[in-house]
Amino acid sequence: MLQWAAIFLVIALIAAVFGFGGVAAASANIAQILFFVFLVLFVVALVARAVRGR
């Protein structure tokens, strides 16, 4: 999931360089959403591991 966020971030940067503002904004928003979803899943996994006692 973090890989997809990075891919959309790169797409947003390339689109911004070439002047495609709408595509850049949409890709940046998707990258941001994917990053936060990844972050939430990571925290949930850490908590689950701590609760299990490993």
- For the chain, what are the domain ranges? 2-52
- Amino acid 37: pLDDT: 92
Whether 54 shows a pLDDT value over 80: the answer reads: no
The 8-class DSSP code of residue 1 comes to: -
pLDDT tens, residue by residue, 7-40: 888 888 888 888 888 888 888 888 889 889 999 9
1 pLDDT band (50/70/90 cuts)?
Answer: low
Instruction: Tell me the average pLDDT across 35-52.
Output: 92
Q: Which residues contact 15 (CB under 8 A, 6 or more apart)?
A: 21, 23, 24, 27
Q: What span, in angstroms and rounded, lies between the C-alpha atoms of 8 and 26?
A: 9
- Amino acid 22: pLDDT: 86
